[in-house]
Structure 1
Amino acid sequence: MKTKNNVQKAVLRFAAVVVSFVLISYTVSAQEFWKRFLENSSFGHIAMIMADTEAPAVESSSTFSAVDMLMETETESDLEMEPWMTNEANFAVYNLEISEVAEVALELEPWMMDQYLFQRAAETDPALALEAWMVSDAVWSF
């Protein structure tokens, strides 16, 4: 019985390895399939440009293509300073005066040295006593 279980485990492991190799080869071939599909489709050039890390040189041609639309550069006009931007009344600017406060140095006062204001003796807790409810079966039975 033990040998039968070990053989079954070995067969299952071997089958798992074979299936994993098949799946890996399938995914690798699928990557090549999508690459070939994108190269041959009408959106292939756009997809390849977006997928590549380096921007490939666009071939010059006299025809208008979708790639030319993507490569259009935009320009913005220069910003100008307007009068409302320099008007201080438009912005809430408060002039706060910050004054530094000097604290008085601490001094030792007579009440601080009075030994009767502070307890010197160590506090002791009363001795614990065993009470009836602590050992009662009625309280602790479940």
Structure 2
Amino acid sequence: MKTTNNVQKAITKSLAVIISLVLISITVNAQDFWRTVMENNSFSQIAMAMTDNNEASSASVDATTTDLSAYAAYATVDAEEALEVENWMIAENNFFTTVNVETEIEEALEVENWMTNESLFDGMASYFKVETEEALEVEDWMQNTDYFGVMSVDVEEETEGGLEVEAWMTNSEIWNI
């Protein structure tokens, strides 16, 4: 009995160690996974710029034009060739065309005598009663301000100054342009 408990404890501890090692290896591999996804993505430059913006930017004019030309390569519009209609596309025997679609015309509805005979529909009439309510009246206590906590409220209009352009807003080092 005691040996069985010790074996079960040893197995449980071994499983815990194995599961921990597997989870650690998955976590380590996941760190490289996102880096490879970002490198293969068209947004990789933006993502790298966002993560590396703490480095001092001392780019020259050549580096700026290189960055702009790299961006221009992403901004080019791909043109597709014009589609052509081929003979098989317009041949009717290639498609299921045996269905005939006809417009259905309905006859006009007619009102028959039994439809206007009210004695045939009196069975439920006793359940429908018109309900009337008395008109509401304004009483004195409803207009008495002592019953309600009416307070005067002063309203001030808030005015804002015009917007100003600050130096950091146009700084190309901040915006990596």
Q: Under TM normalisation by the shorter chain, which class is it?
A: 0.3 to 0.5
| TM-score with structure 1 setting the length | 0.41
| TM-score with structure 2 setting the length | 0.34
Q: Which protein has greater RCO, CA pairs closer than 8 Å, 6+ apart?
A: 2
Q: Whose radius of gyration is greater, 1 or 2?
A: 1
